[in-house]
Every structure is written in C-alpha cells, then in structure tokens.
Amino acid sequence: MEGLIRGLIDVAIGGGDGGGGRDEENETRDERSRSSWAQVVSGEQDNDDRPHGHNPTQRRRQEESQQEDERWEVSGSRPSRKPHKVEYGGYEKDEAGERHGYNQNEWNRKEQEKENNDGWETVGRKPQRQPHKVQMDQWQGYKRPPSEQVYSDEFETGTSVEPSEEELADLSQACNRLWQLDLNRLEPGKDYQIDCGEGKKVYQKADMAEGSLFYWVSEDIFRRPTFSRFCSLLDNYNPNAGCKEVVTSEEKQEQSAFMEEISRTAPIKYLHKYLSLKGIVSENYQDFKRMITKLWFDLYGRGGASGSSSAFEHVFVGEIKQHGEQEVTGFHNWLQFYLEEGKGRVDYQGYILPRRRGETPDSETQLLTIQFEWNGILKSVSSTLVGVSPEFEIALYTLCFFMGGEDNYVQLGPYSVNIKCYRFGDKIGSVFPIAEC
C-alpha cells in the first residue's frame, strides 16, 4: 500500500511539473507577441539642418544667433528608438558608375520575422499597407541626350507672369503670387488623401500615427512631366552626409531635363521676370536656367567632405549624419516622403501640435509639421508643403534665397509661413517652411 501511495504522489508531482512547463512556454510566447516598438529618446534639440561653415568662430556665432529659431527645425533628430544601425553601403557606386539601392536583405529579414511569429499578432504593430504603385518606365528616358528628349509645350496660364509693382516691393505678395501660379498643385481628396493621425509635442515618446501619412496618391500625377522628372532625380544620391557624390553623365542629363521642363511653367517664368527686373539674373532665359541649375545641383562640402552635398539633395532628398549620433537632416519634400513611405523606409510618427490651439491639421491641410523615422533614424521635427508642384518649391525657395534673409514671413494662399533660409556661402545650405500659427 505504501508503494502504491508513493507512486500516486510521484504521478501527481509529475503532472504539476508538466503544467508548470506549459505555463512557462505560454509566458515566453506572450513575451514574443508584445510590441517591438521602443520609446523615442527625447532630449535637447540639435542644429543639424543648418549648414556648418569651416571657420570655428563664425560657426559658433551662427549657432548662438540661430539657437532660438532652431527649436522648430530640428533637422536635428534624435537617435533611433531602436538600437539598430541601418547600413547604407549599397548606395556606393561601382567603377562603372552604377548605383545600388538599399541593402534589402535587412528589410526582408525583418518582414519575415513579422510573418513567422507562430500566427501571433504583434501588439502595437502598425498595419501593413500595400506598396505604392508608381509607373517609372518613362524615367529612364530622362537620361537620354538632349536631342532625344521630349518636353511639354510652353505652359499657358491665361494670366500674366509679369510681377506687379506691389509684388516687386513686397516679398510676401510675390510668394503668394507664386502660390496662385502653381496650377500643378494637387487638390486634397481629389488627387491624394492623407491621414494625420494624432498630435504630439516634440519631446513626447509615443508613436501617434496608426498607419501611413499618405493613404493614397493618384497615379496620374506621376505622368505629369515636372512631377515625373523630379521623382527620377531622387535616387541619384547617397544619403550618407560626408560621402562624396559621383554624378554620372546620365544623372547630369536628368538634372538638365528637369530644369528644362520646369522652365516652361508659370512659377519659373515668374521667378525669372522677378529676378531680372531686380537686376539679379540675366534677361537671357538660357543664362537664367544655367544659373538656377548650378544653384541647386552644384556639389559642395558638408560634414567635412568636399563634393558630398548639394542644395537639391539636402532640401528635397534628405541626408543622414554619420559622425556621433546618427541624425536626419533636410528631407522637406512630400513626394520623397510618399515614395520612401511606400518602400517601407519612412515611418510616420504623427504631427507636431501647433503652438496655438484650434489649428490642428486634417486631411485638407497642405502645410504640415511632422515627426518621422527614416530608415530607423528619428527626425523630431520636419515641415513640408503637401501637394505643391516641384516647380513651385524651386521658384519659392530660390526667390527667398535671393530676395530675403534668414527669416521670410510670407503668405501662401491660406497659410502664414516663415521660409527659413540658411546660406552656405553663395549656395543654399538649407531652406524649408515653418507654419506661423
């Protein structure tokens, strides 16, 4: 009998161990199913969108005088919420001048990890949307010689592109006229739809956007000549700040083709009229186009390396500082944001709450101040004009560079905006809009 009792006790103890093992297994699985999203590291804001000169004293004075303004442009971002580092070696060109894309192995591995999670749904993970479908077949044609290029007809606006006396005397009125002449500007709800998500303060850690910023953009807009030629330029750059750019003959042709296309539009024609009347540029339109091309595409040094950056790359494409903590700088264009978001490289985090109450953005808003991660690196504050045409932004920023100062308080349709403009000698170091609300 004693043996029988001992055996029953052993069986009971064994059953208890088995139950405990299953509990531990369930706990381990529960741990795997929790969100992998980390918290944003908040801290003091940086001055990383402002170009740095080579004179230490001058640089220090610039930083002291501009520190207050920089609380809104943090081209300064914080380190990524996730402690991983994204490799950009794939952007290097080989001897033949071929440019390689991002290292897709890392992205594919992460997607497989998400899918192979034993069927468990990761709590807090953003819903995956279908990649954006953009027709890019015609973009290769922009690399062809000038004799093989086909451009749109001269843009007829039905209105004069001659600046008025009032506009010549008032930069704000001139910028507002450019807004009126932007006939290529998209219409919210008709050409695209955005989802702003929830708002947050710059220092708040939570991701306030459940999904992407762009819900959809009409494929038709990528058939518009200036839009498609602009988009073809975006993959011509290495995002590593301080990495010397190698510009191929085909990429130079893309630049020329883009400038030729936008020179046929009303905003650029108005810009030429304005600057020539002010005696800043030649009345000869070909000379003017060459000057604008050099202003935006000529390379200069940023981050200590010569030939590593340009106004176009910084403002429209974006760059990533590699010294010290990684930081996103520039990146103020909505088309670049849309395309990178569709590729899974941009994670929208929500909009930055306005300084005044009652001015929260919605799906109709075309001037946004937002927070996002680009390839796992956080940009705490960035501002962008949504839906505007490439020719409008080139004309607006060029006009403010030549006719304004560091702060340019202007009216753009319904928006009161400060166009911040930082110079890098005779080049554009950085330029972007800030909502004055």
User: How many domains does one find in the chain?
Assistant: 1
Told to judge if 272 belongs to the known catalytic residues of this protein, a careful annotator would answer no
CA angle 426, 429, 434 (to 5 degrees): 125
pLDDT digits over 318-342, tens only? 999 877 788 999 999 999 999 999 9
> Which residue of the set 273, 379, 420, 427 is catalytic?
379
Report d(CA 342, CA 238) in Å as an integer.
19
Question: Is 109 part of any domain?
Answer: no
In a domain, 372, yes or no: yes
* In-domain check, residue 184: yes
Which among 273, 332, 420, 427 is annotated as catalytic? 332
At residue 357, the pLDDT reads 60
Of 294, 297, 313, 295, residue with least CA distance to 400: 295
In a domain, 25, yes or no: no
Confidence of residue 298 (pLDDT cuts 50, 70, 90): very high
Give the Cα separation of 4 and 244 in Å (integer): 82
- Model confidence at 119, in pLDDT bands (50, 70, 90)? very low
Dihedral sign for Cα atoms in the order 271, 382, 322, 237 = negative
Active site residue 379: yes
Domain that holds residue 192: 65-90+129-144+162-435
- DSSP class of residue 324 equals S
26-50 residue pLDDT tens: 444 343 333 332 232 223 333 445 5
Q: What share of the chain in percent tops pLDDT 70?
A: 67
Residue 308 lies in a domain: yes
24: pLDDT confidence band, cut at 50, 70 and 90?
very low
In a domain? residue 187: yes
The sign one gets for the Cα dihedral 405, 411, 416, 419 is negative
Q: Structure pTM?
A: 0.74
Q: Is 252 a catalytic residue?
A: no
Looking at residue 249, its pLDDT comes to: 93
* Residue 414 resides in a domain: yes
Catalytic residue of the set 200, 269, 273, 314? 314
Q: Which of 145-149, 169-173, 418-422 has the lowest mean pLDDT?
A: 145-149
Query: Is 298 inside any structural domain?
Result: yes
Confidence category of residue 430, pLDDT binned at 50, 70, 90: very high
